[in-house]
Structure 1
């Protein structure tokens, strides 16, 4: 693969070791395309680019999570932005543990371990009773970073943490997934010439490129027919995200699952004006739309279609506990009270904390784009974090 064919001028070039890793992964994907007859569905390409063992974005050794390009990272998440996110999230987590009478926690995709460390400390400070904190993460490199973070920031509680290689058939407790769904592989579809096509990946002179093929699945045809479009249109479906939701809601025999991510309900997601889809890539804190740039070195994401996620959880037998914006969830959970625990006269601490909270809550930042959806079994009432501003009726 010639990397210059997919290298926007605004992106910094990787070093020789990283570039060699990317080329190795690209070679594997090219071979798979050839074996498949010259065409792969996009979700398979995305799966390989993100999760190929040792070479994919989450399977390799890049920094990924951080505050700025200088630290080698590609994007920032809420737990990295402010410790107050975890301190506030701990409140509904503690309430869910108590309401369900369970004592275990499980986090998917724990990143650097910042959220786990923050939750453990905050839950302990709240007096919440819990026994174990399980982490499910495919990346061995990230597991080591998580272990180091926990030992440095929550040494008294790190012994309660364990890493799972496989999911249990049943789980009682609280499941947490922050920015997990957006990293699930998506299928791409393009409406061109009045006909729906599935968009896949092919090779043109050894370079990755898109190629559309007519949709032939009756299930796909039925679903896409419900999207009201006129003219050219590109969008995604979230088969993997729905399957993941069904899995955790089937596994959950008692307790709650809290999923936090950016996205929209179906009627907004498939709006006629969202004609270019939501697929986005992140490299060194720069966002762009080319998924073929440096395979394995950049993040590839798509916004979440939350109606489908809600349907999947309910189909698995769970109750839909609530759905609202991140801003409303955090305000209901008491983030202003958590901020108020910092002395405002200590400007060196208070002003950066207040600035971070503003980013978590602002409609122009993360407050409106990010949503929280929760499922439950064995919890009779909703959580305080959904007490006002619940948007379940919009799904």
Structure 2
């Protein structure tokens, strides 16, 4: 039975499902969902590229930021938890950098939380026994260190809503094809906008990522002391809900082509939505995470010394310099303003982080 057939059967038996439930099945249904199947997803043969695919410099700069955090936290036992490690490329680059500092490495406990069995196997082939794997963050208690993610939250299932006379939720139905219907939104969905002090105009369609709220609350619960780094594409509320985004931000990626049609290539294409960083900051603060700062990828990398990295590269690898310089240029410019970095802290007063040296034009 195909994934489409499974969804159709669910709808015919139980009635229309929320778009959030549709997206959950399409991405995470055991063995058949986009992220749980063995289909190649990232890189030339996949559907999209991520920053680690372009250059190992990205992982090295994150490693530098983690090293600085280790110093701030007193150079003691240091746990790094990567949430959703994809192919493991970024893990390898970050781990490789941290390994160069013998004092830090002696205190390092590198963990990956990964719920996709297919991804986990891919990571293990690349990383061997260097790291520990967990199915859930709740399995790791009392973390002193940093919990970080790269392009994770955008793939959480989201509720789609439309403002009419009142807030309505989008449901998915089926009759010779998938189609959408509306029903009054639940209290949780209405409360989301109230908490963020957002008023949507009539006719405005967008997404609500309730899973992101639960995720940041779980992170705060597991982190005893340290930092949280969230890297993804998205905006603060005031930018995310601009009038020209009145159709929402749902995007699908299939064989390096973008489309806005989640009801085709089910299980074979990625489905994403832009992250609301104001929501992560707001609910993070409510659960014990203070805001350190918010910037974009370009300023983050520059603050951590990407220019020095390039200079050293030119000296050490002159034959590869042009190729690698162009890869870094893509990180800085083509992807530099698209991707944002939110850093939060718990039980530490220091926010003097190199990655936040140059503030971006957005305020959280």
- In the alignment, is residue 389 of structure 1 matched against residue 350 of structure 2? no
| 3-state secondary structure, aligned to 1:146 | helix
How many residues end up aligned between the 2 structures? 355
Give the TM-score normalised by structure 1. 0.85
Within the candidate set 82, 92, 109, 1:107 is matched to 82
Alignment equivalent of 2:212, drawn from 232, 241, 245: 241
Q: Cα distance 1:224–1:375, how it changes in 2: closer, same or farther (>3 A)?
A: closer
Q: Note if 1:315 corresponds to 2:286.
A: yes
Contact 1:228 1:272 in 2 (8 A): no
Distance 1:99 1:122 in 2: 18
Q: CA RMSD in A?
A: 1.9
Query: Is 2:353 the counterpart of 1:378?
Result: no
Whether the aligned pair in 1 keeps the contact of 2:220 and 2:289 (CA below 8 Å) is yes
Partner residue of 1:186?
158
Residue 58 of structure 1: CA displacement? 0.7
- Superposed CA offset, 1:303-339 (max 9, x none): 1010001112111112212211111111101111122
Q: Distance in 2 between matches of 1:43 and 1:352?
A: 41
Q: Is the 8 A contact 1:107 1:175 kept in 2?
A: yes
Aligned to 2:270: 299
Relative to structure 2, which stretch is displaced further, 56-65 or 332-341?
Answer: 332-341
Q: Could you tell me the TM-score, scaled by structure 2's length? A: 0.92
Distance change in 2, residues 1:53/1:372 (3 Å) = same
Structure 1: any 5+ residue segments left out of the alignment?
A: 1-22, 152-158
Task: Give the counterpart of 2:305 among 327, 334, 339.
Answer: 334
User: Which runs of 5 or more structure 2 residues have no equivalent in the other structure?
Assistant: none
Which residue of structure 1 lines up, in the alignment, with residue 64 of structure 2?
91
In structure 2, the residue matched to 1:47 is: 24
**Offset from partner CA, 1:353-372 (integer Å, 9 cap, x none):** 1111111111xx21112110
Cα distance in 1 for residues equivalent to 2:230 and 2:191: 28
Q: Contact 2:115–2:136 (CA<8 Å) still a contact in 1?
A: no
Instruction: Check whether the contact 2:172–2:180 (CA below 8 A) recurs between aligned residues.
Output: yes
Tell me, yes or no, if structure 1 residue 275 matches structure 2 residue 250.
no
Structure 1 distance, partners of 2:360, 2:49, is: 26
Over residues 258-291 of structure 1, what are the superposed CA-to-partner deviations in whole Å (9 max), with x where a residue is unaligned? 1100000001111112111100000111100011
**1:312 is paired with a residue of what secondary structure?**
helix
Structure 1 residue 302, shift from structure 2 partner: 0.3
4+ aligned runs moved over 6 Å, structure 1? none
Cα pair 1:132 1:160 within 8 Å, conserved: no
